[in-house]
Amino acid sequence: MEWASVTGDPRFFARTGPHSLAAVAEAARGEAPPRRVRYTGIAPLQSAGPEEVSFLDNKRYLPALADTQAGAVIIHPDLAGQVPEGCVAITTPEPYEGWARVAALFHPEPPAVPGIHPAAVVDPSATIDPSAEIGPLAVIGARAEIGARCRIGALAVIGDGVVVGADCRIGPQVSVSYALLGARVCLYAGARVGQDGFGFAITGEGLLTVPQLGRVILGDDVQVGANSTIDRGSAQDTVIGAGSRLDNLVQIGHNVRLGRCCVVVAQAGISGSTELEDFVVVAAQAGLTGHLRIGRQARIGAQAGVMADVPPGQDVVGSPSQPVKAFFRQVAILRRMDRDRSKARSARGAAESEAGTD
């Protein structure tokens, strides 16, 4: 069976509108001509219709802009002249940011449905704001606190003493223990927050588990992807700074500290006691050893193996990691050496062949 492409399928996504051009432009934080027109939704350039809003943030898609049937396009002012006739240009210096805000205008997050499902298990000593939603078979432990307008999904487990701030979204089958969550934290399905850190002592009799006595602190607006894991601290806390984003399948070890607005992409792992300053980016499948300091706005390339501190603002790649320019300089040298060796081998083979002919 084939399904037609739909942006914001109403089976899954609530929709508001129609919205006026003025409202859309205001949401995008952009400017648009004063026209009395309304839009019903959003869509990509290639499929948008006259009643839909699209966007352009990459010059590679200028051919799609030329052919679009969209009623309006969110676009940088420098490209506004290329918007086809009949399509309204909503200009903003940050088109992608504008697109995100307009998408949220048409498709806002569904609000919590206040109440506790009859199949949920809630300890009598837990405190749950009356505006919160507790889903079926969720478990809320002793002395836990659930803030206003929170949504706790089906089969989620909120451990004893955990504090969940206002407007948090806890997905299905998430487990949270030994943790304090700020406001607007989002934990996607299957995330594990607060389990034991990987700590043990090597003794003559074997491995001795070290009690993990710290917590996990998640700042405001943190998002943690599906099936990611954040270990609680050993004696200190594991801290994820406000606004940070963790992708799916990320591992954060005990005592790790992330600053504000850090990004850690899928399958990356950060070992215990490593600290990331503000706005650090760790790309997919990168691995960071323990007790490192990664400077502000540093960027770690995909599959990099980081074994030493990284200065602020530096980009590193490779394993062991090194600055980008040094890495590619070495790659160029190796390629040149291989090319020269191949040429020498070919020349030697030709000379031997000629000698054999003589």
Tokens linked to 238: 């594991």
Place 321 in a pLDDT band, splitting at 50, 70 and 90: very high
Higher pLDDT, 338 or 63: 63
Average the pLDDT over 178-205 and give the result.
96
Write the CATH number of the domain with boundaries 174-320.
2.160.10.10
CATH, domain 19-106, list 3.40.50.300, 3.40.50.720, 3.40.50.2300, 3.40.1390.10: 3.40.1390.10
Higher pLDDT, 335 or 144: 144
- Among 19, 76, 254, 291, the active-site one is 254
HEC string for the chain: CCCCCCCCCCCCCCCCCCEEHHHHHHHHCCECCCCCCEECEECCCCCCCCCEEEECCCHHHHHHHHHCCCCEEEECHHHHHHCCCCCEEEECCCHHHHHHHHHHHHCCCCCCCCEECCCCEECCCCEECCCCEECCCCEECCCCEECCCCEECCCCEECCCCEECCCCEECCCCEECCEEECCCCEECCCCEEEECCCCEEEECCEEEECCCCCCEEECCCCEECCCCEEECCCCCCEEECCCCEECCCCEECCCCEECCCCEECCCCEECCCCEECCCCEECCCCEECCCCEECCCCEECCCCEECCCECCCCEEECCCCEEHHHHHHHHHHHHHHHHHHHHHHHHHHHHHHHHHHC
Place 330 in a pLDDT band, splitting at 50, 70 and 90: confident
310 by Cβ neighbours in 10 Å (0-12 / 13-18 / 19+) ranks as buried
Q: Is 254 a catalytic residue?
A: yes
Pairwise CA distance, residues 41 & 227, whole Å: 32
Report pLDDT digits (tens) over 199-233: 999 999 999 999 999 999 999 999 999 999 999 99
Place 2 in a pLDDT band, splitting at 50, 70 and 90: confident
Higher pLDDT, 1 or 44: 44
Instruction: Break the chain into its structural domains and give their ranges.
Output: 19-106, 174-320
Query: What share of the chain has pLDDT > 90, as a percent?
Result: 87
Report pLDDT digits (tens) over 143-180: 999 999 999 999 999 999 999 999 999 999 999 999 99
> Is a pLDDT exceeding 90 seen at residue 358?
no
**Residue 95: its pLDDT value, please?**
97
> Is a pLDDT exceeding 80 seen at residue 357?
no
> Is a pLDDT exceeding 80 seen at residue 61?
yes
> Is a pLDDT exceeding 80 seen at residue 356?
no
**Residue 352: its pLDDT value, please?**
66
Q: Which range (3-17, 49-63, 286-300) has the least confidence?
A: 3-17
Instruction: Examine domains 19-106 and 174-320 and report if their fold is the same.
Output: no
**Residue 52: its pLDDT value, please?**
97
Mean model confidence pLDDT for the chain: 94
Place 25 in a pLDDT band, splitting at 50, 70 and 90: very high
